Amino acid sequence: MDLLNTLVDKGLRRELPTREEALAVLATSDDELLDVVAAAGKVRRRWFGRRVKLNYLVNLKSGLCPEDCSYCSQRLGSKAEILKYTWLKPDEASKAAAAGVAGGAKRVCLVASGRGPTDRDVDRVSKTIAAIKEQNEDVEVCACLGLLSDGQAERLRAAGADAYNHNLNTSEATYGGITTTHTYADRVETVQQAQAAGMSACSGLIAGMGESDADLVDVVFSLRELDPDSVPVNFLIPFEGTPLAKEWNLTPQRALRILAMVRFVCPDVEVRLAGGREVHLRSMQPLALHLANSIFLGDYLTSEGQEGKADLAMIEDAGFEVEGAGTTTLPKHRADVAEAAGQSGGCGGHGGGGCGPCGDGGAEPAGACGPVGTAEAAPVAAAEVPAPAGEVRTDLVAVRRRGAGTDLPPNA
């Protein structure tokens, strides 16, 4: 296809596609899907080889959020039967993080529900960062705490935070339809505060909330302009008990086309396969590794993910390799710019998390962000087709019952 040849050429030159080209990727047919994946895979390999970065989420404070994000299981008024607990102590969080690092995670994403941290909360997180880095000096730490107030980004950076995650989630035009307690502009401002403080910015989106192709392209182009080092792509986890529980709009094929479009628009950025991958990609997850160069290991914020050992087997079986701690994630031209700007050089990368997802709607918790998880293996290949419109699917979504906030060992 001429379209794909053009997009590959542009991706290898780090040239922005046109909006029409990005929309055309989303409009390709299932018959063309493998061609689309192969084309985007050439761009992914040019900038990231066959490396896959592993990230691990630690949910520092779960549930009881005052924000009303429709996608989030931790939102105000949520009836989702998730774990609810207040702040983990630094040693508890460090122990949880150590499990992820032992499983191969290069980055630990510290997530807390809420609109944003108080100054006391920043102190708590600062102590947690210190405890984690005392045990694992080389691990990257990304904070995901919601909207930041003046001076808080600088305090987190001084405490050792390498990155900050705050997702845009959807297009500016439709943002008010999913959240009313804060604005799209609030989110943009927080990402910019993190960048100005010298942290690596992580900001992404949630697909599957009923948005149009134009909305998806709008938010990805906005992310390209904002220029985060990492872009988590979350797929809505329709939790029972949330307003979007019946929004089953994705197929594995559509999810792959969305990932390919993100890769073409953000060719040299860490694209993270985040919350909802097990639910919506199912048995086609390995194909997504040809598009994304980063995933979350194990569970998410409030939902369970694929077993950590299954993640590692999937990476190996697909012909990829786990990125080592001594490897710089970002391509040299981006890492050099980050270092010159005083950012932690080579982070680049919280479902949710960076973090990627949040609150776990396949998204992020209100105000904050990250993915979610439970005590038994997630039903990765349970369904062959998306649920009929208007139907709640409880067989594909497992609520986390292990790890942080419980007495059970984590999934890593």
Residue from 142, 266, 355, 369 carrying the catalytic annotation: 142
Q: Which long-range contacts (CB under 8 A, 24 or more apart) does 16-19 make?
A: 16/224, 16/265, 17/264, 17/265, 19/217, 19/221
Do the annotations mark residue 65 as ligand-binding? Answer: yes
Q: Of all helices (H) and strands (E), which one includes residue 117? A: none
Q: What is the 3-state secondary structure (H, E, C) of 287-336?
A: HHCCCCCEEECCCEECECCCCHHHHHHHHHHCCCEECCCCCCCCCHHHHH
Q: Are 181 and 149 in contact (CB under 8 A)?
A: no
Q: Of all helices (H) and strands (E), which one includes residue 142? A: strand 140-144
Domain 2-10+35-372: assigned CATH number: 3.20.20.70
- Residue-level pLDDT at 345: 44
- Residue-level pLDDT at 384: 38
Residues in the chain predicted with pLDDT less than 50, given as ranges, are: 345-359, 363-385, 388
Helices (H), 83-183: 90-102, 119-135, 152-158
Give residue-wise pLDDT tens across range 275-291.
999 999 999 999 999 99
| CA distance from start to end of the chain | 41
- Residue-level pLDDT at 361: 53
Q: Are 297 and 105 in contact (CB under 8 A)?
A: yes
Distances (CA, A) of 340 to 330, 332, 333, 343, 345: 14, 12, 11, 7, 9
Indicate the pairing of strand 300-301 with strand 372-372.
antiparallel
Q: Are 200 and 294 in contact (CB under 8 A)?
A: no
Q: Are 381 and 158 in contact (CB under 8 A)?
A: no
For 270, the 3-state DSSP assignment is strand
- Residue-level pLDDT at 352: 32
Domain boundaries along the sequence of the chain: 2-10+35-372
Do the annotations mark residue 72 as ligand-binding? Answer: yes
Do the annotations mark residue 202 as ligand-binding? Answer: yes
Q: Provide CB contacts within 8 A for 293, sequence distance 6+.
A: 44, 48, 51, 52, 53, 270, 271, 329
- Cα 49 to chain center, whole Å? 20
Q: Of all helices (H) and strands (E), which one includes residue 407? A: none
142 has catalytic annotation: yes
Residue type at position 293: N
Give residue-wise pLDDT tens across range 160-210.
999 999 999 999 999 999 899 999 999 999 999 999 999 999 999 999 999
Burial class of residue 390 (count of CB atoms within 10 Å of its CB; 0-12, 13-18, 19+):
exposed
Do the annotations mark residue 69 as ligand-binding? Answer: yes
Residue from 44, 109, 334, 402 carrying the catalytic annotation: 109
Residue from 65, 144, 266, 358 carrying the catalytic annotation: 65
For 224, the 3-state DSSP assignment is helix
Q: What distance in Å separates the CA atoms of residue 266 and residue 17, rounded to the nearest whole number?
A: 9
266 has catalytic annotation: no
- Residue-level pLDDT at 83: 74
- Residue-level pLDDT at 393: 62
Q: What distance in Å separates the CA atoms of residue 24 and residue 19, rounded to the nearest whole number?
A: 9
Q: What distance in Å separates the CA atoms of residue 47 and residue 233, rounded to the nearest whole number?
A: 18
358 has catalytic annotation: no
- Residue-level pLDDT at 73: 78
- Residue-level pLDDT at 358: 47
72 has catalytic annotation: yes
- Residue-level pLDDT at 370: 39
pTM over cut 0.85:
yes
272 has catalytic annotation: yes
Residue from 124, 263, 272, 334 carrying the catalytic annotation: 272
Residue from 202, 266, 355, 369 carrying the catalytic annotation: 202
Closest to 69 measured CA to CA, from 369, 354, 405: 369
Q: Are 81 and 360 in contact (CB under 8 A)?
A: no
- Residue-level pLDDT at 125: 97
- Residue-level pLDDT at 397: 77
